[in-house]
Structures are given as C-alpha cells and as structure tokens.
Structure 1
Amino acid sequence: MGRCSTSKNWTTGLHLLINILSTALLGASNYCMQCLAAPSREQVDKAHSQKTWVRIGVPNIIDLVRYQTGKRRLLGSVLLITSLPIHLIYNSAVYFSIGPTEYSVVAAQDKLIQEHGNTTEFEQCFTENVGMELPSLNAAIRDGSFNTLSKQECIDTFAQDYASGYGTIVLVTKDSMPQNESVAWIGTGNSQNFEGGNSQFSWLCDEQYPCTKSIAEENTHNWTVRALTWSRPTIRLSVPIPGGIYESGGWLDVGHYGIPETEDYNHLDDILDKYPSLEELQAELDNPSGWVNSSFPGSVTVRKGEPECTYPRVYGKQTPRSYSIDHCMTLPVKETCQLFFSPPICLIVIGCNMVKLICALLAARENRKDIFLTTGDAIASFLAKPDPATEGVCLLSGPLIKKRTQGWRKYKGRERKYLDLLGIKQETPLRLPPRKRWFQAASISRWVYTILLFVCMLIPSIIVLRLGILNYNKASKSKNLWDSGLGDASTGTTLAGLSIPGTASGVFSMIFLANVPQILVSLAYFFYNGLLTCMLGAVEYENYTTAQKPLRVSWPRGAQRSTYYLSLPYRYSVPLLVVSAVLHWLVSQSFFFVQVIPFDRHGVPQRSSPDVLVTCGYSPVAIIFGIIVGGLLPIVAIVLGLRRFRSHMPLAGQCSAAISAACHPMTMAVDHALKPVQWGQVPDRVLSHGFFSNTVTTDIECDARSSAGSDEQRPSLATELDRNETRAVGFLHCSFTSEDVSEPSTSRLYL
C-alpha cells in the first residue's frame, strides 16, 4: 500500500511484461503444434497413393487433429487447451486497487482557528465530522504540516475521481464566521457511492450535481461556497400502521415493517426525504392538500429528538451564508492505493506453463523419421526419392489440385476411377500459369476466416468506443477525451451496472470477464500467423527460380543450411510477436478489472462497506489505439498479398502433391538434395506418346472445364476426350535439380 502513481506504474509495467511473456508462450505453443502437425514422408506417400494431399510448413490445428494420432494429437490438444487459461487470467495475476481516502472540507477566516468561545455542540460535531480536534488542527497548521495551494491548484488537486493522500482541507476566506462557530462546515470528499456518475468532489461546485472540473473552473476567479449546518435537529414520529404504531427516527421504509404502500405513506416518505425541520414537517401535516385520507396526517405524531452531527451519512442543510475563497490548505496523509498479487492465478499459470514445457520436451523427443517441418525438408526428400504418384505433371500446382483436377481431392473418399477405366495415364502436359500474387498462396477460406475474425473484433470495438465516448462526455462534461489516459479508471469509465460484491468468487469472475477479449486476440494471432506463413512460404519456394540455393532443412547435410524458424522469417515473425504483445497490452488497458476499496478519514479500509466497488472499466484512449493497431494488421496482410511473384513458377501453396510434382530431376545423378538446387527447365527433351493434344494446360483452363463439376459428369468428359485424336509429341520438363536449368517458356507444354 502506498503512492497511487507508483502502484499504477508498477501495474502497467508488469502487465506489459506479462503480455510479452504470454505472447512468447503463444508463439512457442504455435511452434510446437506446427512441429507436431508436420507430416512424415510415410504419411505423405500414403496420402498421395489415395490421391489426397497434406499441408507442409504451415500451422494447422485441423491437420493436427485429422492426420496425427495417439501421443502427437494428445500433446497438440493439451498445448492448445493450456493456452486458454493463460490468456484468460494471466493479465490479472497482478492488479491495481484504487484506495480513495475520505477527507473533510471546512472554511476558516485565518490560518490559525479560534479555539475558544465555540459552543459545545460545535466542538463535538467538529471532532466527529473532521476527524480531529480543533487544537490538533491548529497544531498541524503551526508546524507546517499543511500545504498551501492556490485556487487553481486546489481545483486541479481535488477535481479528480478517487483522490488519495489528502486529509482535512481548509478553505481560507476573508469573510467573517458565524458567532460561536469559528469554522464553517463545507462537506466531505470521496464519501459518496463510487458507482459511475457519482461526483466525489461536489463541494467544489457548492454541492451541485453533476460536478466536473470544467464546471468548477468556470468560477475560479469568483469561487464561493455555502456552508452546511454542523448538526441537524432530529425528528421522532409515531405513525399509525395496520396492527399498531411504527416509531420512526425521521424516515419511513415503505413496504417493510408493516408499512403499507399507499399514497399517503408514500407522500409522507417523500416529505421526510427532504430532511424538513420540525416546523416544516408539522406544516405539511397540517396542510390537507396532498393527502388522500384527510384523517391520516392528524394521526401522525411528531416530536423533537436530540440533535445529531451531520457526518457521515446525515444530510446537512445548506445555510444562507456564502464564503468567498482566497486559497486552500491541505493536510497530506499516506496514500492508500494497493498492488495486489493473486497466488491462485499465478499457480494456475505456472501449472499451465509446466504442462506446456512437458509437452514441448515430449514433442522434441519424437523419433519420427523424415519429417516435413519445412518446405525444404519436403523438397530434399522428394529429390532423394521421387514420388511416382506425381510423375509426369511437373507443372502441377496447388490451385489445380484444390480444384480437384487430375483425380486429386482434399479428403479421403470415393476415388475417381473414370480415367483408370479408360486405361489413360494421369500424366498431363501443362503450360506455365500466369504470374500469381502473394494472396493466392493462401486459400480463400483462410483469408475469409482471418479477415472475418478481425472484423468481429473491430466492429464491436468501434461500437463500444462510441458508446464509451458518449458516456464519458456525459459523466465528465469534458470534451478532452485524452485526459482519461490509458487504463485509468474513473467514475465515468466504470461499468457500474456490473458491480458485484468484493468476495473472492466475485473478484475472480470479474477478472475472467475482463480478460475474455484476450482470447480473440490470441485467435487472431493464430490465424494471422497462418496467413503470413502461407504467403511467405510460397515466396521462399518461388525464390528457387532465380539462382541455385541450398535447401533450408531441419537436419542439414552437405550444402544444406539449417533453419532457426519453420516458415515465417524473423523479419516478419519478430515484428508480428511485438505487435501481438502490444495489442494484448492495449486490450488489457482498454477493458480492465477495477477494484475500489475506500478508506475512511482515519485511514481504515472499508472492505465490508457497500461502497467497495468490484467491476470492469474501459479506457476510450486505449480502445482507439487498439483499433488502430488491430486495423493495421489486416491492411498490412492485404498490401503484402497484392505483391506479385517474380516468376511463372506454379504455385504450390504448401500442397504436398504440388511440391512432389516439382521434384523429378529426370537424371540418375545422386545427391541433388545435398547440393544447391534451382527450379527451372531441365535440358533434356522428353518424348512421350499417346497424350491428348487438347488436355488441360493451365489452372485457368481448369476453372472453365471443372464447371462440369460432379463425378457423375466425368464419364461424358472422358468420352469426349476419347473421341479426340492422339498424336505423339515431345514435351519439355521442369524440376528442382542441382544441375543447370533454363527459364521455362510460357508458350511450351511441360510434362
């Protein structure tokens, strides 16, 4: 417990560190899951034999669940599940509790206050209302404990929500004081209910509601306040009710204690709510208008009770006297903000991290052979042992395969046997496709899901921002939104309707609610990472058309180079992690857990008080920055996606079949994969008989012809092909190879 600025700064710094660590954990989990989801050569060969294909070098939870079994599927699922509690509660392992200190406000003529000649009632109420005796107040003034502030400084200091570290305030005036009362009672601060909209410094505005800093500053040069009475005479009532007499201390609880909810009882309750004097109440009872039963007011007996001081919960009536304020003096006290550390939350996070560590170690001990962690691993394996399932279709591309040509399909199912029945080989000469753009390396569904997720995050954020700004301006009456700061709670930015009791379960449930948006940010990272991986993996694949380069593999041999990343280069992955950490932090500052534990004027925390506030708050400024950062991410992806590839190389798009088709070097030379390789037209001409001269030649033509669609229509297509004449033609061939290659021609057919 201590200075609020120190506690707040520590909270901000620790939250930033927590979000960096949680983002690093997210990236590590994604890395491990991608390793677990990576197929082996055996799995790829099995898939190709069934005319299906798998993804290589891209994180995919679906592939992890669908194609992996046993321990790998279990480890991947555990890694994914343990990410959920970390992002739900990790941010609230450390949280800031606001501790507003209640303070009293008085007005006096001189710095030293007259101690003699005051009434006994005044002296008693001074001690009770102010929290210290008059001689002690004078002693504090004499020894310099009070700080002197100008009028503007006084407003700047106290026109804020949840002020802490201030005790008694003396408003110094040159106006005379009432006889037998050397000090005027002005009121209290931080004594109201702390739910949204309640002003904690209404004394600055002469007890007018709502009171904001801008309203208080309007009267800075002519600042006057009206005093309240130190005490109030109490009224005792005897009210007839069905079955007896209800003795009241000056108020009614209609609907309870046998008091019926009739118009007369409600009317009497409304009168008592105005804190009338004995004479005013008797005059209301003697007035026959306003009463349904004219005999009811005559049956109510009122009498004078003992006077009571107007602090803390009894309303003091304003006196006619006004005081012009020259400056003010404040008595500093210890600030009461707190930095809380939640052992249960930390234990849960530590437990999840331990489970993740164990899963990562078990994943590292996997003894699978010939695993395709990167595209380079797949190329090296296919060059060392070409796959016969993809022989004769060197320009086979991911888009062609995904359009279900050549008999390929995405999932296992009914095989297309119409070509086999006709005795036709599935070797097909193809032309080079047009140059593609980066965005075509990822599937349409991946783009749709990624953009849709960001839209689902941004649109509600914009709506919440608009409502939050309206509510903030309504509560603060200020147009300067930037005064609210990042993650700063105020009565205008707390969701009072969500306030719950400050029990352990209540605190935990509100912490859970405040961190729900973190889950969406984590999902956005997974989707965005996968999208960039698809595009940049295709860029790396296409770079082998420019010059001979060593393959980037997981376990290098020969001229191969090792890899420190799977598919996303550091120049992209590191900025993405940084932006993700910043976005997580901005979200934690946009919608956050709020706990307000008020302290009374003696510095005692009121933990059981109904004024304890446990809810969530929002920061319009943080939401604005969060929307900017979150909105830039899809824009950057779209801009990158519009870039063109440098060559006409068929787009593999992490498709195992397309990569395999490009790895038939057509020579018996060994160790292609151990040397620098390049993709291009190999020098040998291939002569092949029996191929159709009007076969599908590009993925664009496939679009038109695949409109024939279903398997039921395929026989008619085969019959049409069968009616065409065949002729022997010579075709060129493209492949990855360690030998010299030339640039392929867009006008030739390749086999």
Structure 2
Amino acid sequence: MARCWCFLDPESWQNLLQESGRLDGLGISSLPIHLLYNSVVYFETSANKYWVYPTTHSHLTNTSHSYGNSDFDALKTSLNDFEKLSNDECLDAYGQKLVSGRSDVILILDHSTVDTEFKYTVRWSGDPKRRGAEPYDWMCGREPWADEQCDVSSLDVDNWPLYSDNKWVNKTEPRVEYCLSKRTPEYCKLALNIYLLAIVVGCNLVKLIGLGLTWLCLKQQPLLTLGDVMASFLQDPDPATKNCSLMSKSSGHRLHWGPELREWLAGKHRWAASVSVLRYTLGVEHVSVYETPSLTALWNRGFGQVSVDALINFTAIMSLEGPVGMVLIANLPQLILSLLYTALNGMWTAMLVGVEWNTYGQEHKGLRTSSPVGNQRRTYWLSLPLRYGLPLLAGSAALHWLISQSIFFVRLVIYEDGTIMVSGRPPADTPP
C-alpha cells in the first residue's frame, strides 16, 4: 500500500515529486523562456567619452603657439566642427551620466579672471564607465576620488567658476563665459541575439513535442478536474482510505489513520480561510514596507524608453561580466511574476474547488469531467471558471507587458574619437 497523496493545487511541489521525470522536464523548459525571451531582441544605444579643455578666447584663436597638449592643438584646427553653447545649454548637455551626440568640449574662460599661472595644458575626462564618480564631476571642480557629489542644478549659470581646489587653477577662480561643443553622430539600433533566440526556440520545441507525445501516447486517464478525481475513486476505490470517512486535512497529511468512528461537527467556513497565514503576512508586509511611486512620475518617464538616470550597472554592483548575467537579472521579474500568478491561481483553485465540492451535496448533478460518460458534464475549464480565469490571465498578460517595458536589457556602446571603446557595460534599464 503506497499511501502517497497529492494536492489539488497547481503550485504544489508535492505534486511534482509524484510526477515522472518527463513532466518535470517540461516544467524546467519554461525557465529559459521566462529568463531569456524578452531579451532576444534588444535596444542598442551609444554614449561618448569626451575631454574637457579650459582656455580663453585669445589663446584659442592663437594658432601659431603650442601649449604642450597635442590633442588640444589638433582641436584648434577643427573649430568649425564645434557649436557654441551658453552656460545653461552646456550644463544641460554635459551634466548627465551618458552624453550622446556630443564629444569634446572647450570651456571659454573670462580672461580677466584667469590667473597668470593657469595651466592650459590640463584636460579633464568625462568617462561614463569610470567607477566611483560621475562623468560630469568636472563641472563642480571635483576630483575623481572626491566623496562629494556634484549637483549640476545648484550651479549658477551666470557665475560658473572653476574652483580653486581644482588642479586647473592655482590662486583665482576663473569664470566660464561659454562653451564650444563638438557634435558627433548618434548611434542606436535594434539588435537580435541569435543564441538566445535558438535557446528559446529549442525550449518551445521541447514543449511542443511534449504536448504531441502526451496527446498521442497518454494511456492513463489524467485527473484534471475535481470530477475526474471523484469519478476515479468511485470506479476504483482507494484501499488505503477504506472505511475512513470524514477524514480531515491533518489526518491526510500524517497518513497513519485507521478505520474508526469519528466525531464530526459541521461549521461555517469562509473563503478567507483558504489563504494561509504566511500569504496574508507577506501581503500586509509588502503593502506597509514598500512605498508606492508617483504615477505622474512613472507616466512622464514613458514606457519602453531608455532613461539615463535609471540605468543600473551590475558590472560595478555584482562584478558581473558579459551579457548573459545581465539578461538573467533583467528578466528575473518575469519569472517572479509567473510564480506569483501560479500562487494566485493555486489560492483561487483551493477556494473554488471547495465551493464545487459543496455544490454536489446541495443538489443532484453530474460530475464535471474532462471525458464525460453518461450524465457527466463536459468541462469548459480546468481549475478556474472562465469568470475567474480570464481576468486572471488578462491581468497577468498586462503585468508581463508592463514589466517588459519597465525592466529590460540595453546594450551600451561607448565611443571615443569615433571608435568603439567598450560595449555592453550597463545593460539593465529600469525606466519606471
């Protein structure tokens, strides 16, 4: 007498332990689909590493004199490629983590505020892949190792100084009059990862083959509905529970019952009791701990838009290298949502199966089975009626789409002087 049992719950791990390895394989084949599918086609964008050169108008136009910086001397011969920006426009263009469409910038200083010992040979780098500092810290005169964060919005556009604690200056604080910005082409495209596509297609083929084999080779009648279970036990009674009427859930778990008289007192049961205390606790904790963001702010960010301030560089946080780890992290919420859908489906199944069981004691009607015989009724749903199942499916599909537009993989290509410097550094983007 084996005395094994299963739950009427699609999320039960106990049921998986009772199933064959082939069915477990079909379940495992869903993991790559959840973790890879949304990154098969991804967005590729670009950013520029640039250099900042402080100088004055007179020194810039004096092409006959060299200041010991070959790169800066070369820029002086290509000033036609530069666009004049006001201080406000310059701070707006370069005061961000990723600069695209612009590269090197020349700061034109007020000659009356420049000290005679000012070092014109010094330049500053705006490097988006530099760790521990923002690429725009030069605007506030910050050193790369400084702990203070540069707040670009606090700078006075009419009186923008290069502070005296900066290496650029010695005694005075030169004021920036305007900027000269070099325009560069912007690069962006949609890309296809053929390897991820092959994995996703392979997993779907495994599922398709499994469904076909199940349809053609399944010999035993599966227990898909409560009516299937009742019809099976009526046709082939379980010897392990013979003469054990009015069994409780706890006695079913222990599996050590025997034929004996049992006292039974009927009572009322509420649907709320179908949900475990753990689920209630986790739900209340989630609502009370996590702060709900502003819907207006989320809407203004847009859906599926690459937001610079929402880029997450997992290379620096978790020492991840390569796109595979980034793809798995970016798609992990899809898997979590699928698990939540399964948990909610299981909770509603437990509630509605209890309701269906009670209806058989209230009126005479045929069992709802997947293969009806005689007066049995053909089922049009498995665990959830359509009025519950369809809204749940629609809500799950909408949430999957919203997550795919909120957290996704982005490949970032960094250019320096028109050539690719590095690619794929901060590829996980979370706009909302």
**What is the TM-score of this pair, normalised by structure 1?**
0.45
2:88 aligned to 152, 155, 165, which one? 152
Q: Deviations over 1:634-660 (max 9, x none)?
A: xxxxxxxxxxxxxxxxxxxxxxxxxxx
1:527 aligned to 327, 339, 343, which one? 343
Cα distance change, pair 133–488 in 1 and its aligned pair in 2 (3 A): closer
Cα distance change, pair 320–429 in 1 and its aligned pair in 2 (3 A): closer
Name the amino acid aligned to 1:494.
N
Which residue in the other structure is 1:121 paired with?
Answer: 66
Separation of aligned partners in 1, 2:114 and 2:238: 107
Kindly indicate whether the alpha-carbon contact (under 8 Å) linking 1:373 and 1:566 is maintained by their aligned counterparts in 2. Answer: yes
- Residue 166 of structure 1, CA deviation: 0.6
- Residue 101 of structure 1, CA deviation: 0.4
Separation of aligned partners in 2, 1:176 and 1:507: 51
Tell me, what secondary structure is at the counterpart of 1:128? Answer: helix
Kindly indicate whether the alpha-carbon contact (under 8 Å) linking 2:8 and 2:350 is maintained by their aligned counterparts in 1. Answer: no
Separation of aligned partners in 2, 1:386 and 1:497: 59
> Are residues 1:63 and 2:5 paired?
no
1:553 aligned to 338, 362, 369, which one? 369
Kindly indicate whether the alpha-carbon contact (under 8 Å) linking 2:330 and 2:409 is maintained by their aligned counterparts in 1. Answer: yes
Q: Deviations over 1:42-96 (max 9, x none)?
A: xxxx98xx7x765557554423532x5xxxx133111122123333444443445
- Residue 436 of structure 1, CA deviation: 0.6
Which residue in the other structure is 1:219 paired with?
Answer: 156
Which residue in the other structure is 1:436 paired with?
Answer: 269
Name the amino acid aligned to 2:313.
T
2:49 aligned to 91, 102, 118, which one? 102
Q: Which piece of structure 1 moves more, 585-594 or 213-222?
A: 585-594
Separation of aligned partners in 2, 1:440 and 1:510: 41
Cα distance change, pair 116–491 in 1 and its aligned pair in 2 (3 A): same
> Are residues 1:205 and 2:140 paired?
yes
Unaligned runs of 5+ in 1: 1-45, 228-273, 275-314, 420-425, 466-479, 623-751
Which residue in the other structure is 1:331 paired with?
Answer: 182
Kindly indicate whether the alpha-carbon contact (under 8 Å) linking 1:56 and 1:373 is maintained by their aligned counterparts in 2. Answer: no
Cα distance change, pair 98–226 in 1 and its aligned pair in 2 (3 A): farther
1:499 aligned to 314, 319, 338, which one? 319
- Residue 535 of structure 1, CA deviation: 1.0
> Are residues 1:77 and 2:24 paired?
yes
Separation of aligned partners in 2, 1:558 and 1:416: 34
Separation of aligned partners in 1, 2:22 and 2:389: 24
- Residue 453 of structure 1, CA deviation: 7.9
RMSD over aligned Cα, in angstroms? Answer: 5.1
Name the amino acid aligned to 1:499.
S
Separation of aligned partners in 1, 2:190 and 2:167: 36
Kindly indicate whether the alpha-carbon contact (under 8 Å) linking 1:105 and 1:185 is maintained by their aligned counterparts in 2. Answer: no
Cα distance change, pair 119–525 in 1 and its aligned pair in 2 (3 A): same
2:258 aligned to 416, 429, 433, which one? 416
Kindly indicate whether the alpha-carbon contact (under 8 Å) linking 1:186 and 1:226 is maintained by their aligned counterparts in 2. Answer: no
Which residue in the other structure is 1:352 paired with?
Answer: 203
- Residue 120 of structure 1, CA deviation: 3.6
Structure whose CA Rg is larger: 1
Cα distance change, pair 491–429 in 1 and its aligned pair in 2 (3 A): closer
Which residue in the other structure is 1:680 paired with?
Answer: none
Separation of aligned partners in 1, 2:270 and 2:107: 72
Unaligned runs of 5+ in 2: 292-296
2:420 aligned to 605, 623, 634, which one? 605
- Show the 5 A alignment for 1:116-515: 117-122=62-67, 125=69, 128-129=71-72, 132-138=74-80, 140=81, 146=83, 149-171=85-107, 175=111, 187-191=123-127, 193-195=129-131, 197-207=132-142, 209=146, 214-225=151-162, 317-318=168-169, 320=171, 322-336=173-187, 339-368=190-219, 370-378=221-229, 400-404=247-251, 409-410=252-253, 416=258, 419=260, 433-441=266-274, 447=276, 488=307, 493-495=312-314, 496-500=316-320, 506-512=322-328
- Residue 175 of structure 1, CA deviation: 4.2
Cα distance change, pair 79–529 in 1 and its aligned pair in 2 (3 A): same
Separation of aligned partners in 2, 1:556 and 1:596: 58
- Show the 5 A alignment for 1:10-21: none
Cα distance change, pair 154–595 in 1 and its aligned pair in 2 (3 A): same
- Show the 5 A alignment for 1:720-735: none
Name the amino acid aligned to 1:87.
H
Tell me, what secondary structure is at the counterpart of 2:248? Answer: helix
Separation of aligned partners in 1, 2:114 and 2:7: 88
**What is the TM-score of this pair, normalised by structure 2?**
0.72
Separation of aligned partners in 1, 2:257 and 2:428: 58
- Residue 352 of structure 1, CA deviation: 1.4
Question: With CA pairs under 8 Å and 6+ residues apart, which has the higher RCO, 1 or 2?
Answer: 2
Tell me, what secondary structure is at the counterpart of 2:175? Answer: strand
Q: Percent identity?
A: 29
How many residue pairs get aligned? The number is: 420
Q: Deviations over 1:241-264 (max 9, x none)?
A: xxxxxxxxxxxxxxxxxxxxxxxx
Cα distance change, pair 348–386 in 1 and its aligned pair in 2 (3 A): closer
- Residue 159 of structure 1, CA deviation: 1.2
> Are residues 1:86 and 2:86 paired?
no
Separation of aligned partners in 2, 1:216 and 1:187: 23
